């Protein structure tokens, strides 16, 4: 059973949640929503809106250096290195990125 939601509903759910409101920035939520919507269009698979799962599966970082430090990885030095390991969602107009945790 699926219910279609808009970008506004998607963002509102997170921003009004006491538990999950700090997982993504407003701009990050817009980028994540667009990424998931594009995935649905490209694959023909519908995604169930499960905000808790999204918070477990994706993380937003201030910049690439924050990701490198968090993962303590010597294999990741560039955004292309990161893309070779996981999905990367760039947040337009900022240095922030969302990655699929790996």
Task: List the chain pLDDT tens, one digit each, 102 residues.
Answer: 567 899 999 999 999 999 999 999 999 999 999 999 999 999 999 999 999 999 999 999 999 999 999 998 788 999 999 999 999 999 999 999 999 998
The domain locations on the chain are 7-100
pLDDT at 72: 86
For the question of whether the overall pTM of this predicted structure is more than 0.85, the answer is yes
pLDDT at 1: 59
pLDDT at 67: 95
CB 51 within 8 A of CB 17: yes
CA angle 12, 70, 32 (to 5 degrees): 25
Helix H or strand E encompassing 43: helix 26-43
Instruction: Show Cβ contacts of residue 31 under 8 Å, excluding neighbours closer than 6 positions.
Output: 89, 90, 91, 92, 98
């Amino acid at each position: 059973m699926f219910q279609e939601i808009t970008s506004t509903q998607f963002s509102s759910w997170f921003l009004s949640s006491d538990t999950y409101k700090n997982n993504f920035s407003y701009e990050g939520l817009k980028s994540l929503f667009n990424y998931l919507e594009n995935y649905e269009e490209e694959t023909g698979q519908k995604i169930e809106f499960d905000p808790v799962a999204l918070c477990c599966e994706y993380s937003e970082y201030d910049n690439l250096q924050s990701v490198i430090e968090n993962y303590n990885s010597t294999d990741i030095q560039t955004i292309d290195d990161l893309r070779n390991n996981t999905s990367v969602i760039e947040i337009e107009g900022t240095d922030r990125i969302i990655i699929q945790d790996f």
